[in-house]
């Protein structure tokens, strides 16, 4: 009989081996799924994972990779910080939307003015928008002990109705011939988040993502706050004896993750999306949850995971235009990846033992 | 007798039907959580149930088979959660989220080609003559079978949890899995059953959305109903009759805001449509603050995995 046995200490090998194994398993099962759908599995997998990097149009698609990875990394790093401390901010999508709305509002309020301070102020406003939206569940959690998972998630739906209102009334383009959606930032240079290096797909969002990864890594490994976050997650009782203030921790983690999600929203709306529309948000806030786990809640791992997830987006789009693969198939693929990751992760803390009756009797 | 263009009889009859999906899903989740498992995948199981129910009903032409299909679809998806958390001991919060993301993806993949089709109509259970009785008719006799099923399930869940041996075992597993294990109960197996029950109930609830409430197939059809169901379980302190009360409260708000929209109220549509979500937050805050801490009613082993190492 096969049974699970707890390891005395978590396996370092499996800690790093889990993500690649999960990706491999997802490719295999995903390939079977694609075959059932009547596609050539090898061709689909190659289109998603190989062509964007080394294929015919790689020079363009590689740039797209950074465009998609930027917001994912930025949001996931913030989420991972909370997840490590056992604080579950699930509403990053809402904070992302609110960051975009508040940031864009600041820019649009001073519309034709040209000043080089406009964009930095918008960035601050975007971070503030996300931070403020995340403070609602944080304060309800610390003040009233309300479940932050449910509150932050409910606020996603509230943010979506505010977004609908923004794009049809208070941020609507007055010269937009009645179409919903705000002014396009590409025609407003002072507030535009353009590409810094043409062809690389690097805009300020990408820069922010990479810088944040390094900063948060330092925070986690070298700063007392990072130590407290890790302690609170791994040994809540010990954390209490150590004098970790749970209220401060919740406010800190939720605040950072909200501000980062808000930043991601602002960079997206002023850059790749271009304008506030009713559906400019594409679920990055939810996909970032997968990225956070795939990166093992480690900022540097998350950078790699963000690029991998961006690959599935870019490659998935390729597969849908070239091979007629439905866009939803990529979503299934991403969900599956998280399942395998969580499943394989058992090997980090447990090992499988083949045991006959005699061995069990001997052990007892 | 209308108040501001809203007829209270139609309002009450409407809220009983509107709240069926969240009521069923929340009842299932209440049992799951009483057994000590936190399954955040309710939204995913509901939408898979909605799709499964819709597809089966369209192909068989029978709404009843549709609801059975919805239950099976929800239960099958919940088995993924059960396998990961009970066998592979994965984190329940993360796995539940994964279940929701996966369910939303699968439903939007599988639902392609079903847009614009009308499912077979689910008709009233009792003869029409009864439903014609003023006031009492629409409220008591005018519903389809699933509405009565949902109330029956509330009573059944309450009775089983409170008065039967099975209910006692489920609660023991949820309160202290080590003690239950020491008594010889198969903790993980009992939890697996509860998770499957929760999946089936969420599936039926989802099928009610796609077969009766909307009735057609749209991407993301459940629109957060699963999350509201999760909130209702907390609101209800894990007690079935309070789940019913909570579900009816939210059903009432949803019907009221739709009626206000239709009646051309001065309040903008956007603010009305965010009302159910804002209300959920307010109720959660009230329930979790002060003397009546929601945490008091929570099963002691909620969200913790069990591994029989001794």
Under 8 Å between Cβ of B46 and B226? yes
Q: Which residues of A touch B102 (CB under 8 A)?
A: 332, 335-336, 338-339
Contact flag A334-B105 (C-beta cutoff 8 Å):
yes
Does the structure show a pLDDT above 80 at A265?
yes
> Who has greater pLDDT, B12 or B196?
B196
Under 8 Å between Cβ of A78 and A246? no
Measure the CA–CA gap between B24 and A198, rounded to whole angstroms: 54
What pLDDT score does A362 carry? Answer: 37
Residue B131 lies in a domain: yes
pLDDT digits (tens, 9 = 90+) for A199-242: 677 888 888 889 999 999 999 888 888 888 888 888 888 888 88
Q: Which residues of B touch A88 (CB under 8 A)?
A: 93
In whole angstroms, what separates CA B183 from the centre of its chain? 32
Q: Which residues of A touch B104 (CB under 8 A)?
A: 331, 335
Residue B1 lies in a domain: no
Measure the CA–CA gap between A204 and A119, rounded to whole angstroms: 11
Residue A196 lies in a domain: yes
Residue A41 lies in a domain: no
Cβ-count burial A345-357 (b if 16+ within 10 Å, e if not): bbbbbbeeeeeee
Does the structure show a pLDDT above 60 at A3?
yes
Question: Nearest CA of chain A to the CA of B1: how many Å?
Answer: 33
Strand partners, B144: B124
Least CB–CB distance from B277: residue in A157, A336, A345: A157
For residue B108, what is the nearest residue in chain A, using CA coordinates?
A328
Sign of CA dihedral A295, A297, A303, A308: positive
Under 8 Å between Cβ of A178 and A100? no
Residue A360 lies in a domain: no
pLDDT digits (tens, 9 = 90+) for A185-197: 877 777 777 777 7
Q: What's the rounded mean pLDDT across residues A1-27?
A: 83
Contact flag B281-A335 (C-beta cutoff 8 Å):
no
Residue B146 lies in a domain: yes
Least CB–CB distance from B104: residue in A136, A331, A346: A331
Q: Which residues of B touch A143 (CB under 8 A)?
A: 289
Range of the domain at A208: 70-301
Least CB–CB distance from A343: residue in B88, B104, B280: B88
> Who has greater pLDDT, A169 or B265?
A169
Residue A31 lies in a domain: no
> Who has greater pLDDT, B305 or A80?
A80
Calculate what percentage of chain A has a pLDDT beyond 70: 96
This model's pTM is above 0.90: no
Q: Which residues of A touch B222 (CB under 8 A)?
A: none
Residue B153 lies in a domain: yes
pLDDT band at B3 (very low <50, low <70, confident <90, very high): low
Q: Among candidates B13, B24, B289, B66, which has minimal Cα distance to B153?
A: B24
Angle made by CA atoms B78, B79, B84, in degrees to the nearest 5 = 100
What dihedral do alpha carbons A87, A93, A98, A100 form, nearest 10°?
Answer: 130
Q: Among candidates A158, A164, A152, which has minimal Cα distance to A258?
A: A152
Q: Among candidates A94, A108, A93, A127, which has minimal Cα distance to A170?
A: A108
Count of domains for chain A: 1
Helix (H) or strand (E) segment spanning residue A351: strand A350-354
3-state SS assignment for residue B20: helix
When the pLDDT of each residue in chain A is averaged and rounded to a whole number, the result is 85
pLDDT digits (tens, 9 = 90+) for B31-70: 999 999 999 999 999 999 999 999 999 998 888 899 999 9
Q: Among candidates B85, B39, B75, which has minimal Cα distance to B227?
A: B39
CB count within 10 Å of CB B140 equals: 15
- Name the CA radius of gyration of chain B, rounded: 20
Under 8 Å between Cβ of A229 and A79? no
Residue B230 lies in a domain: yes
For residue A349, what is the nearest residue in chain B, using CA coordinates?
B89
Residue A356 lies in a domain: no
CATH number, domain containing residue B165: 1.10.3470
- What ipTM score was computed for the predicted complex, to two decimals? 0.83
Q: Say which DSSP state B122 is in.
A: P
Helix (H) or strand (E) segment spanning residue A144: helix A118-144
Count of domains for chain B: 1
Range of the domain at B27: 8-297
Residue B310 lies in a domain: no
Residue A204 lies in a domain: yes
CB contacts < 8 A (A, B): 137
Residue A45 lies in a domain: no
Q: What's the rounded mean pLDDT across residues A253-271?
A: 93
Q: Among candidates B120, B77, B126, B84, which has minimal Cα distance to B101?
A: B77
> Who has greater pLDDT, B6 or B99?
B99
Residue A362 lies in a domain: no
pLDDT band at A155 (very low <50, low <70, confident <90, very high): very high
pLDDT band at B221 (very low <50, low <70, confident <90, very high): confident
> Who has greater pLDDT, A123 or A115?
A123
Question: Nearest CA of chain A to the CA of B135: how many Å?
Answer: 35
pLDDT band at B116 (very low <50, low <70, confident <90, very high): confident
Contact flag A334-B106 (C-beta cutoff 8 Å):
no
Contact flag B80-A328 (C-beta cutoff 8 Å):
no
């Amino acid at each position: 009989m096969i049974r699970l046995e707890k390891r005395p200490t978590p396996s370092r090998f499996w800690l790093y081996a889990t993500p690649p194994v999960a990706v491999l398993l997802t490719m295999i099962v995903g390939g079977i799924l694609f075959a059932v759908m009547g596609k050539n599995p090898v061709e689909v997998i190659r289109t998603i994972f190989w062509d964007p990097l080394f294929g015919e149009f790689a020079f363009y698609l590689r740039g797209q990779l950074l465009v998609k990875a930027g917001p994912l990394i930025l949001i996931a790093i913030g989420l991972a910080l909370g997840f490590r401390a056992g604080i579950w901010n699930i509403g990053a999508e809402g904070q992302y939307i609110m960051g975009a709305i508040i940031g864009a509002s600041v820019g649009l309020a001073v519309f034709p003015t040209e000043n080089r301070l406009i964009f930095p102020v918008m960035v601050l406003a975007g971070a503030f928008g996300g931070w403020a939206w995340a403070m609602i569940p944080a304060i309800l959690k610390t003040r009233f002990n309300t479940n932050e998972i449910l509150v932050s998630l409910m606020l996603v739906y509230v943010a979506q109705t505010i977004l609908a209102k923004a794009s049809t009334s208070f941020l609507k383009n007055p010269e937009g011939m009645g179409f919903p959606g705000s002014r396009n930032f590409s025609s407003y240079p002072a507030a535009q988040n353009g590409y810094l290096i043409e062809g690389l797909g690097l805009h300020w969002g990408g820069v922010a993502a990479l810088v944040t990864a390094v900063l948060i890594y330092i925070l986690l490994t070298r700063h007392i706050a990072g130590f407290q976050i890790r302690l609170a997650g791994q040994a809540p009782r010990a954390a209490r004896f150590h004098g970790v203030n749970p209220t401060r921790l919740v406010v800190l983690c939720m605040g950072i993750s909200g501000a980062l999600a808000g930043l991601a929203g602002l960079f997206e709306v002023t850059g790749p999306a271009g304008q506030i529309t009713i559906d400019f948000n594409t679920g990055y806030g939810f996909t970032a949850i997968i990225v956070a786990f795939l990166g093992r809640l480690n900022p540097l791992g998350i950078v790699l995971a963000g690029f991998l997830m961006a690959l599935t987006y870019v490659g998935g789009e390729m597969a849908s235009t070239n091979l007629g693969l439905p866009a939803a198939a990529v979503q299934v693929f991403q969900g599956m990846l998280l399942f395998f990751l969580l499943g394989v992760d058992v090997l980090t803390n447990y090992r499988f033992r083949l045991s006959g009756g005699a061995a069990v009797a001997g052990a007892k | 007798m209308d108040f501001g263009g809203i007829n209270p009889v139609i309002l009450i009859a409407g809220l009983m039907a509107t709240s069926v999906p969240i009521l069923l899903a929340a009842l299932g989740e209440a049992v799951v959580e009483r057994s000590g498992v936190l399954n955040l995948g309710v939204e995913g199981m509901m939408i898979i149930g909605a799709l499964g129910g819709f597809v089966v009903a369209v192909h068989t032409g029978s709404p009843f088979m549709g609801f059975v299909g919805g239950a099976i679809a929800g239960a099958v998806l919940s088995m993924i959660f059960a396998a990961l958390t009970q066998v592979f001991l994965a984190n329940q919060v993360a796995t539940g989220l994964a279940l929701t993301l996966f369910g939303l993806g699968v439903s939007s993949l599988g639902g392609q080609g079903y847009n614009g089709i009308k499912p077979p109509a689910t008709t009233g259970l009792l003869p029409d003559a009864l439903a014609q009785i003023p006031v009492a008719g629409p409220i008591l006799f005018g519903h389809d079978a699933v509405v009565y099923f949902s109330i029956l399930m509330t009573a059944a869940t309450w009775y089983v949890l409170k008065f039967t041996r099975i209910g006692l075992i489920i609660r023991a597993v949820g309160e202290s899995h080590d003690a239950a294990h020491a008594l010889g109960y198969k903790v993980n197996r009992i939890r697996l059953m509860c998770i499957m029950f929760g999946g089936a109930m969420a599936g039926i609830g989802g099928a009610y959305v796609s077969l009766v409430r909307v009735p057609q197939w749209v991407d993301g059809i459940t629109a957060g109903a699963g999350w509201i169901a999760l909130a209702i379980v907390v609101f209800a302190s894990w007690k079935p009759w309070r789940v019913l009360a909570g579900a009816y409260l939210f059903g009432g708000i949803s019907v009221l805001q739709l009626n206000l929209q239709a009646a051309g109220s001065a309040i903008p549509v956007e603010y009305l449509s965010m009302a159910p979500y804002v209300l959920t937050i307010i109720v959660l805050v009230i329930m979790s603050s002060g003397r009546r801490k929601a945490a008091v009613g929570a099963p002691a082993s909620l969200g913790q995995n069990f591994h029989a190492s001794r």
